[in-house]
Every structure is written in C-alpha cells, then in structure tokens.
Amino acid sequence: MAIHRPCGTFDRTYYEAKAIFRTRLQWGMITALILALYGIAFVMNDYLLGLSIVIFSFIVAMLGIQIITGYAGQITIGHAAFVGVGMYVLACVEAHLGWSWWVGMPLAGIGAGLISMFFGSPSGRLKELYLAFATLAAHFIIVYVISNWESMTGGVDGIWLSRPEPLLGIDFMVEHNYYLLALTLCIAMIYLAKNLARTKLGRAFVAVRDNDIAAEVMGINIFSTKLLAFGIGGFFAGIGGAMYAGYNEYVNVEFFPLMDSIWFLGFLVVGGFGSIFGAICAAVLWKCLDEMATLMTPVFSQILPGLAFYVTASFSLIMYTLIIVIFLVLEPRGINHRWNIIKASYRLHPFAY
C-alpha cells in the first residue's frame, strides 16, 4: 500500500517531503487541537486535570516502549520498572540532595535510560522470547533493590517529594498549572520521538527490527543501535515517571507493578507497533479504561453488594485482556493502521483504491 496523501499535495522540495505536517489543513487542525488542550485546562475540574496529567505521563512512557519494542523490535517486560526508576531517581535527588524537580526530572530520564541500557545489554545475544525473560528479570531486580535499599529509597514506605518550584511566577501546586506543564512536556517529548523516528537513528532502529542480519551487513552496528534504543526508551520512561511522581508528590513500589509492564506491551499492540500516533492512542485508551474501572466500583457495589471488591479487581483485568485479544484477532496492526485505512479511504472516496 502506498502512503496516501491528500489529493493535490505534491512535494517540490525534499524539505516538504520530510515534513511531519504537510498541508495547511493539517497544520490548522494540529494547532487547533493543541490550543484546545491548553484552553480546557481552565475549565476542567481537578479530577479531570489529574486524569489528564496521568495520561500525559503515560503517553511519554508509552513512547519509550514504542521506541524499544515498536521501532527497534526489542521486546521488554521491564518497562514499568524503568518508569519506576525515573520516579525514584527524582525522589532521591529531591530527598537526599535537596535539588528541585527541574534538575531531578532530566536526571530521572538519564538514570532510567542508563538502567534500561544495562538491562537491555543481553539483547546483544538474546532475541524475542529470551530477551523478554531477561528484561522480566529486570523488573524483579529493580523492585527488589528499591524495596530493600532503605537508606536510599525508604524501602516499602516510599518517599515524599515536592512539585516543581514556581517558575516565572507560575505556581505548580495549582492543578491546572501542573497540567499545562505536563502537556508542554508531553508535546515536546512527542516531537522528539517523531524526529527520532524520521531521522538516521530511527531508520536504523527499524532496520534492526525488520532484518537484523541485513542491517549488520549494511553498515549498522546492531548492538550499539539496540543499546541506544534501550537508552532512549528508558529516558522517555524516566521522564514519564518524573511527571507522574511529581504530580503525586509521593512514590512507592506499588506505583509500578509487574502487571503494568505487561500492559505497556499489551496496549502497544492495541495502539500499533512502530507509530508515534499508536503509542499516544494506546496510553490514552489504557488510562481511560483504568479510570472507567475505578468509576465502576460504586456501581458494582450497588448491584453486587459484598462482591464489589472482587469484581472491580478482576473487571479491569478482564477488560484489558478482552481489548488486547480483540485487537490481536481483528486488527493486529493496531489503532494506527485502522486510522490510516480510514484516512486513505476518505481521501480516495468515492473510489475503492
């Protein structure tokens, strides 16, 4: 399938050919969307703002696993732990060094990136299922270290931390200001990820994913490329973690359970491998379903008094699994592919091809 463009769009320069948004309409729509996202900060209540901030953090983290697994093709079942490393790096930097969130946030990204690289290093030898198990071990090791290194991490009690210091007179204790910060960071990270995907390293990632033998013979050092994928993916995870931890002002090991690592991978399938848009959709869908499950609790306790706890606990599991299974069966290439089909058929209308 060729990549369809709106009718009448011709590239006159290679700059145009490489642009993310090509037509005026696309530019208009994306500007309107971004403005709307900024605007609604002032009309949403705290509950919706909180939900949005969580979604933004998870979009950033999801971009991380999209880079590692979706682009570079290295399966990881330790992604939630890398997010956790980000949270804890931020918390420790704030608690022990007394530095502010503004310093801690990039450090969280770098720290998580390095840890991710370390646990990604088996990818030099291992592939697919075997690599999945090696990274699964990462999750257990990280959680074990965090819960037992009490002098540093406070063990199972967790750590309190504070929100970003006021900047230019903006107080981030106010919910909608933090929302604006998270939104800005999220857009910036999406832009970085998109640029990564369309430049040298992004192509090398896909080359390694699609045919690692050919990639090696075609001048790409696959081991360092894989390590970079883990490093950059971990960086995104760490930033996502710092956004989330900063919002909650508290972290403990319960914030990144093993199941989250698996849901990261599962929802990546739903969103679609190898697409930034897919990762965004995946994170939004996941966190909205999550919220829905929480909202259903009172409903269940009405219909099934006494059983409500068990039902809610399993409800989200069943729903997630169901969604993933439905996508695997009906649209294994994810929301992104379906969206492309819809766009293509709209542009080609009334013709079928």
Partner 1 sequence: MTTSIRNITKHREQRYSYGLTLLREEMEKKYPMPKEEDVGKKVVLKGEGINLAFGGLQALMDINFELKEGELLAIIGPNGAGKTCLLNVVSGFYRAQEGEIYYRDRKITHMSSHGIAELGLCRTFQNIALYTGLTVIENLMAARHPHIKYNFLSGMLYFPWASDEEVRQRAICEDIVDFLEMDAVRNHVVGSLAYGLRKRTELGRALALEPRILLLDEPMAGMNRDEKEDMARFILDIYEFLKIPVVLIEHDMGVVMDVADRIMVFDFGKQIAEGTPDEITVNPKVISAYLGTEYAGV
* Binding residues for partner 1 (CB under 8 A): 1-3, 13-15, 17-18, 192, 195-196, 199-204, 206-207, 209-211, 213-222, 228, 232, 274
The answer to whether the beta carbons of residues 241 and 106 sit under 8 Å apart is no
Q: Residue 59 or residue 232: which is nearer to partner 1 going by CB?
A: 232
Q: Residue 21 or residue 309: which is nearer to partner 1 going by CB?
A: 21
Q: Closest approach of Cβ 68 to partner 1, in Å?
A: 15
Q: Residue 228 or residue 280: which is nearer to partner 1 going by CB?
A: 228
Q: Residue 96 or residue 198: which is nearer to partner 1 going by CB?
A: 198
Sequential DSSP letters for 157-221: G-EE--PPPPBTTB-TTSHHHHHHHHHHHHHHHHHHHHHHHHSHHHHHHHHHHH-HHHHHHTT--
Q: Closest approach of Cβ 28 to partner 1, in Å?
A: 21
Q: Closest approach of Cβ 229 to partner 1, in Å?
A: 10
Q: Closest approach of Cβ 289 to partner 1, in Å?
A: 28
The answer to whether the beta carbons of residues 273 and 70 sit under 8 Å apart is yes
Supply the Cα-derived Rg of the chain in whole angstroms. Answer: 21
Q: Closest approach of Cβ 191 to partner 1, in Å?
A: 8
Angle at 334 between CA 84 and CA 255, to 5 degrees: 15
Contacts of 214 (CB under 8 A, 6+ apart): 207
Crossing angle (nearest 10°) for helices 222-248 and 200-210? 110
Q: Residue 174 or residue 187: which is nearer to partner 1 going by CB?
A: 187
Q: Closest approach of Cβ 205 to partner 1, in Å?
A: 10
Give which of 159, 155, 125, 123 is closest to 138, Cα–Cα.
123
Q: Residue 163 or residue 209: which is nearer to partner 1 going by CB?
A: 209
Q: Residue 123 or residue 312: which is nearer to partner 1 going by CB?
A: 123
Structure-block tokens of residue 331: 């649209």
Q: Closest approach of Cβ 207 to partner 1, in Å?
A: 5
Q: Residue 70 or residue 246: which is nearer to partner 1 going by CB?
A: 70
The answer to whether the beta carbons of residues 251 and 158 sit under 8 Å apart is yes
The answer to whether the beta carbons of residues 214 and 207 sit under 8 Å apart is yes
The answer to whether the beta carbons of residues 22 and 5 sit under 8 Å apart is yes
Q: Closest approach of Cβ 177 to partner 1, in Å?
A: 26
- Give the alpha-carbon dihedral of 165, 168, 171, 174, to 10 degrees: -130
